[in-house]
A and B are shown apart, each in its own frame.
Chain A
């Protein structure tokens, strides 16, 4: 690749990332510190002096720690079992444990409440009184729901880390007399620590700033909900900015720590594993015992989904103080199809997500090309920068985009131009900002996929094409893209799926019914009295089916490499 071309792409992509990523972040930072033309720390300190904000931050931290810890407890034993043993049903279970990813946890919350609520399925089934399983403050419910939805990220990281460890490491320990359990704690666990920490960081950041689940579970005293509630005052009140700023610092701080701890010295295996992993075949009772934890976790993780499906088929009001709905109906789906908000939300989500995918494909390929194929010294910087969106919570980005939008729509220069408001004011039409928000937050998946594809494709294929007389553009079209197509499709599917699932940006940026994506529509429907909850569940089932298809597609294309996509 020519140096001048490389520099051009580098400058262009860095500018795009600068505008789409650092500008909103800057708005967040400056909104809390730069008030009335003066630098002030009043509001930052104010956050910590206000007991309500302190409680919110503390509760968010509690949610994040609880979720991350619980996810470790769930994912680690499963990954270890999958790595060490062969047993009947392992293949099925190892794909089933990923199923929770097809549904944002807040949708699952709808079904969850039906089952674990005071008058829900469990209490009726076991003839218990109106016990509130979700705990008075709903804390347990939030943590449980998020764990059941996020543990796959950690599981994938753990499995990938385990697979990377040369079995000879463990064999050497066994040779020196280490028992299976001691080998795990003394050899395997330290070796997989970087992968675990990476996955744990993602889960921590995700659950620390998760908005949908606490909203549905009515756990309002946490920082994310407090930010959401203060959106109306975004123009006048610097406190929400300062609060978002604190969340940003915690998240990126944790990300930086994980990079600092493990970035430079991930324990690279000195040799490719020369032997197959020494997994032991378990038959009979032992095999069943090994499969049991998988069955348990999958069963638990699918409960919210089951709840949503049941709710979607329940006649409104018929699932109360009963094990199952007492009256079944397909009416919720019919009503969903007839509902203006539902139909337009599906259309909107498809449109926003497709545009985001297009954007990410172009930018992602360009970045990957510079990272893999150029000799620029700064290419590492581009690689690192394009990964940062993983570390910045969606809530923070959404907040930043909101204030960018409000700044742009107040520009005097364009005051007379009607189209301008339609373009940049999210209160009028959030299309532009939703597409950009989706794009920038899912860009890391696309970059990772494209980088992996290019790294696996020898540059001599491209050189041979030039040698045969193909220009750079022809080579890209005829040789490079066909060769990395599987990676591109997989990256595109993931980008698409996670854009469809996106919660924070969708809840915060889409304020007009005409422009609501699916997640926001589900949330709005849920809040409607009467049939709202049931129609919301029907829409949730539709989204689940859709996302299952795309995720199964991408995992087939990527094979076992799916885990690599979720690494920091």
Chain B
């Protein structure tokens, strides 16, 4: 039965290096929860602590009501999909998948249909008697998933499960993983460094950096309303413009920067005179605007363009040396080499995110 997972103030040291600096999170039953962060941020360490493969130095981990912090891994009932799949090469697919049931003392007669069903779910029932090394990477990945699922775990743990697959297969598989998780109503914790993977299928995402949890939210929340520069630049592209708060109105502030004054919508009561950073997503920049007056209207020079066909990624030089990233669908002007076309642009104040750190 899927249960909620509670992580309370978990810390972990490797020698003098503190890799988890007090992490807390609440994962609801049936939720597909992502741990996202750059390599070395502690996300895999946290996942392994939930699996029992390493023991936290402090804090607690609860599965439902049960404190499992110091429970050995084989008593936890959490199916894990390893990054390298860890399919036992000396066993057939059937034996690999049946292992967990065997360990639970499930009778052969009962285990067999469950194993078959699990292999059917990942579309490999006809390969049940193959050995793992006879399969492609994508197929191995699916067997690893079936092995973790067949025991009907309290929680499914996935450690960068798609990182060894090619780009196309990755996109197919991530949708597949979400479908399977949702059909079975599983609680799942999914570790990845690929923000697209997280945004596309997560219910909620936790962003980690250097052993700290920076932000937890739905994909839209963390993309549109990042709470720090780290989160904003880690999830998607953005340009930061540094400035000081010049004036405050209702739900709106004016920020003075090297490129001129900006207006931004914000609920946070920023004090006047404080240093802030404005985060502007490339797709929020409206190039070639017809607006003649109002806030956030700028003139810049096309500095460089990466032309990709359906879109172009521009770098626009604004006053004060700020290079603004801008995305343009059906590009009109492409700057190559020395051309320096002038361009007018506008950013909706609602699309400007104010960050204090």
Contacts and interface: CB of A to CB of B under 8 A. Distances in A.
B243 interface: no
Interface stretch (A457-465, A532-540, A545-553): A457-465
B99 A465 contact: yes
A463 B86 contact: yes
Given A465-B99, A469-B77, A469-B151, 5 more contacts: A458-B86, A460-B84, A467-B73, A468-B147, A483-B88
Interface in A480-498: 482-483
Contact of B82 (A463, A482, A483): A463
B291 interface: no
Grouping DSSP codes into helix (H, G, I), strand (E, B) and loop, the A interface class, with mixed when no group exceeds half, is helix
Nearest to A463: B53
Interface residues of B toward A: which range? Answer: 20 to 34
A474 interface: yes
A303 interface: no
B72 interface: yes
A478 B88 CA distance: 10
A467 B51 contact: yes
| Most chain B beta-carbon neighbours within 10 Å: one of A458, A469, A471 | A469
A469 B80 contact: no
Contact of B80 (A461, A464, A470, A482): A464
B78 interface: yes
Given A468-B99, A482-B90, A460 B74 contact: no
B52 interface: yes
Given A469-B74, A469-B77, A470-B74, A464 B103 contact: no
A171 B174 CA distance: 46
A222 B71 CA distance: 63
A466 interface: yes
A471 to B, nearest CB: 6
Contacts of A460: 82-84, 86
Contacts, number: 64
Nearest to A483: B90
A467 B78 contact: yes
Interface string B71-97: 011111111101110111110000000
B103 A468 contact: yes
A464 B88 contact: yes
A465 B79 CA distance: 10
B140 to A, nearest CB: 12
B104 interface: yes
Contacts of A482: 90
A470 B82 contact: no
Grouping DSSP codes into helix (H, G, I), strand (E, B) and loop, the B interface class, with mixed when no group exceeds half, is loop
A64 to B, nearest CB: 45
B100 interface: yes
A467 B76 CA distance: 8
A479 interface: yes
Interface in B311-357: none
Nearest to B103: A469
Given A469-B100, A469-B151, A470-B99, A464 B86 contact: yes
Interface residues of A toward B: which range? Answer: 10 to 19
Interface of B: 51-53, 72-80, 82-84, 86-90, 99-100, 103-104, 147-148, 151
Nearest to A465: B99
A469 B147 CA distance: 12
22 contacts: A458-B84, A460-B82, A460-B86, A461-B88, A463-B53, A463-B82, A463-B86, A464-B147, A465-B74, A465-B99, A466-B52, A466-B72, A466-B74, A467-B53, A467-B74, A468-B74, A468-B79, A468-B103, A468-B147, A470-B103, A478-B99, A483-B88
B262 to A, nearest CB: 50
Contacts of B147: 464, 468
Nearest to B144: A464
B86 A461 contact: yes
| Most chain B beta-carbon neighbours within 10 Å: one of A465, A466, A467, A470 | A467
B82 A464 contact: yes
Nearest to A478: B99
Contact of B74 (A458, A461, A471, A478): A471
A483 B104 CA distance: 22
A273 B88 CA distance: 29
A478 B99 CA distance: 10
A556 B104 CA distance: 38
Nearest to B90: A482
A7 to B, nearest CB: 16
Contacts of A483: 88-90
Nearest to B52: A466
A469 B75 CA distance: 6
A467 B88 contact: no
B318 to A, nearest CB: 46
Given A468-B103, A468-B151, A474-B103, A463 B89 contact: no
| Pairs A-B, 7 closest by C-beta atoms | A468-B100, A469-B103, A460-B86, A464-B86, A466-B73, A467-B80, A466-B74
| Most chain A beta-carbon neighbours within 10 Å: one of B75, B78, B83, B99 | B99
Nearest to B83: A460
Contacts of A465: 74, 88, 99
A119 B82 CA distance: 72
A483 B131 CA distance: 14
Contacts of B53: 463, 466-467
A479 B77 CA distance: 19
Given A460-B84, A474-B103, A467 B79 contact: yes
Nearest to A482: B90
A468 to B, nearest CB: 4
A474 B105 CA distance: 13
Nearest to B150: A468
Nearest to B99: A468
A456 B165 CA distance: 23
Contacts of A458: 84, 86
B157 to A, nearest CB: 8
A355 B79 CA distance: 41
Contacts of A469: 74-75, 77, 100, 103-104, 151
Contacts of A474: 103
Contacts of B84: 458, 460
Contacts of B87: 464
| Most chain A beta-carbon neighbours within 10 Å: one of B82, B87, B103 | B103
Contacts of A461: 86, 88
A463 B73 CA distance: 8
Interface string A445-461: 00000000000001011
